[in-house]
Amino acid sequence: MAERINKNLLKLYFFKFHQPFISIEKKVLEPILDYLKRLALLEILGLMGNVSLIIGVIVFVSGEKQRRNAEIYQAWQVITAAYNQSGSGGRKEALEFLNSQPRRIPWFWMRWERQSLRGLEAPKAYLKEIQLPEADLLQADLQQANLLQANLQEAFLWQVNLQQAVLIGANLQQANLSRANLQEAFLWQANLQQTNLSRTNLKQAKLWGTNLKQTDLSDTDLRQAFYTDETTSEDVCKKFFLSYPCPTKFPKAFNPKAAGMKLIKEWKDIPKRENDK
């Protein structure tokens, strides 16, 4: 009995002796331990976040080609849906996208290749001021299309159909228009310098004020195509918003009369349909 009392007294003594330490543990050590636990949890969560970010980047990069293909498909869908419409129908933006070379993400030093526009069917399309430099438009149908002030510099336009197309003020410098159909096309003030027009049909085309310097006109059909020279009246130049004088610029030694072309000197020389506008 005495031993139990002594043991209980000893426990009581140790309990009272440790009371201050227990209090310190609760007030100081436990908050520190809780903080360390939270810190460890945050580190784990941060690590998981970094892993998720890395996985996300890998998924994004691996899907780069797939996203590009989806964008190309969507652009062609827009072009196809607008077939035979007189307006743009979103084709201008779609064609410019297909012909562009955007930088690849994240490979910023690399670019996507231009998409071929061969065989494009866009007759009567409204494509004013479209930007298609170096475009591949082999055998495209752009009959009666509005390409006012379009940029087609260095474009490949072999056998393209541009009959009655509006190409006023267009940039066709160094383009390949060999065997193309430009019959009755509106080409005044267009830049055709260094363009390949060999075996091209330019019958009845409007070429007043057009730049044809250094152009390849071998076997080109220019019969009844209209041109201007230094004798063309100021009134005619103003009619077509050309600065006076407004001569058509030909390659050296080229004789427009020998090619069967018609000179516009006075108002009466302008084709009737143009005069009525």
pLDDT digits (tens, 9 = 90+) for 219-245: 999 999 999 999 999 999 998 889 999
Query: The domain that contains 133 carries what CATH number?
Result: 2.160.20
Does one domain contain both 93 and 58?
Answer: no
* 27-41, 179-193, 216-230: the lowest-pLDDT one: 27-41
Domain-embedded: residue 69: no
Cα 34 from chain centroid (whole Å) = 58
Q: Which whole number is the average pLDDT over 35-49? A: 62
Domain-embedded: residue 157: yes
Does one domain contain both 27 and 155?
Answer: no
Alpha helices (H) in 100-255, listed in sequence order? 234-239
- Band (pLDDT 50/70/90 cuts) for residue 89 is confident
Can you state the percent helix, strand and coil of the chain, rounding each to 5? Answer: 35, 10, 55
Does one domain contain both 142 and 22?
Answer: no
Does one domain contain both 185 and 51?
Answer: no
Q: Which whole number is the average pLDDT over 124-131? A: 96
Domain-embedded: residue 75: no
pLDDT at 127: 96
Does one domain contain both 205 and 116?
Answer: yes
* Cβ 138 vs Cβ 155: under 8 Å: no
Region of 144 on the Ramachandran plot (φ > 0 left; ψ -120 to 50 alpha; else beta)? left
- Structurally, the chain folds into a number of domains equal to 2
Q: Which whole number is the average pLDDT over 202-223? A: 96
The mean predicted confidence, pLDDT, of the chain is: 84
Does one domain contain both 218 and 150?
Answer: yes
Domain-embedded: residue 72: no
Does one domain contain both 100 and 50?
Answer: no
Does one domain contain both 216 and 123?
Answer: yes
Does one domain contain both 180 and 57?
Answer: no
Q: Which of 62, 91, 109 is the last residue of a domain?
A: 62
Does one domain contain both 135 and 257?
Answer: yes
pLDDT at 145: 96
Domain-embedded: residue 71: no
* 104-113, 149-158, 169-178: the lowest-pLDDT one: 104-113
Does one domain contain both 37 and 109?
Answer: no
Q: Which of 11, 30, 62 is the last residue of a domain?
A: 62
Provide the domain limits for residue 24: 1-62
Q: Which whole number is the average pLDDT over 203-221? A: 96
- Report in angstroms the alpha-carbon separations of 9 from 13, 18, 20, 21: 6, 14, 18, 19
Residue 144 has pLDDT above 90, yes or no: yes
